[in-house]
Amino acid sequence: MVRDKCRHLWNKTNLRDGFIVTENCYHCNKTRVYFSYEDAPPKDEYKEGEHYFNYAGSAQSMKFDLECEKCKTIVTFEERMGLMQCAGCDESCHLNILSKICEGQNIWVYAALAYKAGEEIDLSVDKLDVLTSHFTSRLRTPGKKILVVPGSLRKSPHTCRGEMLRDVGMLSLTPET
Ligand SMILES: [Zn+2]
Ligand SMILES: [Zn+2]
Ligand SMILES: [Zn+2]
């Protein structure tokens, strides 16, 4: 981070509305995920290389960057799509194991799903740290924490299906007590 002395307090900035669009190639089942800024998700089928991508679903979402209200450092999240919890898909799913261990410590574990050019990538440690700090700071339950970990800890994007928290829904994470 830019200034080590600042105890950052991250707030959302540069909010952009749009859709998370999922597409599937009906030949090889390759999945593609991207963020669309259009008013409605595009549903056209198209060919790319040997793949034929078809619209497979979408969800309303929001992109944002985080800015420290004290030192004005901005961390951009162009590549981040959402956060998900593992609902206990498999004993060997690392996200599942981590969630179970952290449960006893009052920590909710979320995997950050990020995509670049349609392919899933992991966010840098710095960015995961900023997300962890931002979402934890928004919780109002004393002692409760959120830990944001790399999406690749999931056993598989196809089997690890848990609760997906899109950014719009993040507000519901904050218990109004
Ligand atoms: Zn700061
Ligand atoms: Zn294909
Ligand atoms: Zn899982």
Ligand nearest to the backbone CA of 94: 3
Q: Is residue 99 part of a domain?
A: yes
Tokens 């710095």 correspond to 126
Ligand nearest to the backbone CA of 24: 2
Ligand 2 center–CA 65 separation, angstroms? 33
Say yes or no to pLDDT of 61 above 70.
yes
Say yes or no to pLDDT of 108 above 80.
yes
Q: Is residue 117 part of a domain?
A: yes
Mean pLDDT of all residues in 108-131? 91
pLDDT digits (tens, 9 = 90+) for 154-165: 998 778 876 666
Mean pLDDT of all residues in 50-70? 90
Q: Is residue 102 part of a domain?
A: yes
Which residues are in the CB-under-5-Å shell of ion ligand 1?
6, 8, 68, 70-71
Domain total for the chain? 1
Q: Is residue 23 part of a domain?
A: yes
Q: Is residue 128 part of a domain?
A: yes
Ligand 1 center–CA 71 separation, angstroms? 4
Print the domain residue range for 67.
10-173
Contact 96, 170 (CB under 8 A): no
Ligand 1 center–CA 116 separation, angstroms? 27
Q: Is 21 exposed, middle or buried (0-12, 13-18, 19+ CB in 10 A)?
A: buried
Q: Which residue, among 39, 68, 53, has the nearest Cα to 130 in the 3D structure?
A: 68
* Least confident piece of the model among 20-34, 95-109, 117-131, 153-167: 153-167
Q: Is residue 154 part of a domain?
A: yes
Ligand nearest to the backbone CA of 27: 2
Which residues are in the CB-under-5-Å shell of ion ligand 2?
25, 27-28, 30, 51
Q: Is residue 5 part of a domain?
A: no
Write the CB contacts of 33 (distance below 8 Å, at least 6 apart in sequence). 20, 21, 22, 23, 81, 113, 115, 118, 120
Q: Is residue 4 part of a domain?
A: no
